[in-house]
Amino acid sequence: MNEEIAKALERAHRVLIITHIDPDGDAIGSLLGLGLALEKMGKKVTMACENPVPRRFLYLPGSDRVVPYPMGSFEIVVALDASDLRRLGKAYSPELYGELPLINIDHHVTNPGFGTLNWVDPEAAATAQIVLELVEGMGAPLEPDVATCLLNGIVTDTRGFRTVNTTPQTLEAALKLQRAGANLVEVMENVFDRRPLGVLRLWAHILSQAQLEDRIIWAEKPRSLLEKFGLNDEGNYGLTNFMVGVEEADVAVIFSEKPGGEIDVSMRSVPGVDVSKVAAKLGGGGHPQAAGCRLKGTFQEVREKVLKELRKAL
């Protein structure tokens, strides 16, 4: 438990909580879980993320409350699941909020500790696992809606308790959340088993173009595919994870075109191969088995740069 952070939040009345761009289930689950818990303590809370809540997390309580560009007067800012300050995107305005204390709560090994107060625990399987400890430490009520959001974070970041960082502490946290009223089946069903038909069509397209070289399987996702399959830019619905399951590969990479001439690089690896080091070298971050970065350039330029670094790491 980080007493200093718990105390700082207990004292504050108006809190701004921000999670990372292109949010995943841990980002959204931690954001809503902490936000709702602080509200139950009587605080005024604003929850922010530059990008909209992906549709598979819209079932979570409070998902309609997330704003892209927070306005108002706050006493403290909390960054959740963000491995560096840039990951907060435009939701964090240094001009407006740079003078306020910034609490950095995260579990990425690559996090440099950019906050005024930092609680970075790379042993935690999800930021939501740290948020649970914080909520308990502050004596906030652990009600079913808060528990569901936090369980959503743990379940998604561990891919359903399948990643190597799933420890007894992770399972204990999940158990605590289930006991507090979180519906594990509902969480699993929403995050893993339901997806629009367009996503299947997108997967089929990307997989049919995937290439395998030197135990690296990679594929490209041009922006035109989003319109073609009627999708928002909400990530790849776990496709990189699926690709790293290919027996002939140790690393999977999806290169996704983003606005502004940038390419998002999503990497996964088998245990024993550390892609977070490669991502950090390229200006990104992440975990040993799941990491990413964003690079300017064409598909070919970015691919050559990334594959070169990956070959060195293998």
Site membership for Mn ion, residue 106 (CB under 5 A): no
Q: Does 56 bind ligand AMP (CB under 6 A)?
A: no
Binding mask 84-103 for ligand AMP (x = CB under 6 A): ---x----------------
H or E segment and range at residue 216: strand 216-221
Query: Exposure string (b/e) for 141-150, b if CB count within 10 Å is 16 or more?
Result: ebeebbbbbb
Judged by CB under 6 A, the residue of 5, 290, 306, 310 near ligand AMP is 290
121 is an interface residue for Mn ion by CB under 5 A: no
Closest approach of Mn ion to the CB of residue 6, in Å: 20
User: Closest-CB residue for ligand AMP?
Assistant: 292
- Residue 31: its H or E element: helix 25-40
**50: contact with ligand AMP by CB under 6 A:** no
Between 249 and 290, CB nearer to ligand AMP? 290
Q: Would you give the binding string for ligand AMP spanning residues 20-49, x where CB under 6 A is met?
A: ----x-------------------------
Q: Which of 43, 221, 287, 303 binds ligand AMP (CB under 6 A)?
A: 287
Strand (E) or helix (H) holding 44: strand 44-48
Alpha-helix residue ranges (DSSP H) falling in 66-196? 94-97, 127-138, 144-157, 168-179, 184-188
Nearer Cβ to ligand AMP (173/253): 253
How far apart are CB 214 and Mn ion at their closest, in Å? 28
Interface of this chain with ligand AMP, residues 189 to 248, rule: CB under 6 A: 240
**Half-sphere exposure of residue 206, counting CA atoms within 13 Å on the CB side?**
30
Angle in degrees, CA 44, 62, 12, rounded to 5: 20
- If we measure between CA atoms, which residue out of 49, 51, 16 comes closest to residue 35? 16
User: What are the residues whose beta carbons fall under 8 Å from the beta carbon of 204, sequence distance 6 or more?
Assistant: none
Distance (Å, rounded) from C-alpha 250 to C-alpha 281? 19
Out of 19, 30, 190, 266, the only residue in the binding site for ligand AMP (CB under 6 A) is 266
| Sites of contact with Mn ion (CB under 5 A) | 24, 26-27, 81, 127, 157
| Sites of contact with ligand AMP (CB under 6 A) | 24, 83, 87, 240, 266, 284-287, 290-294
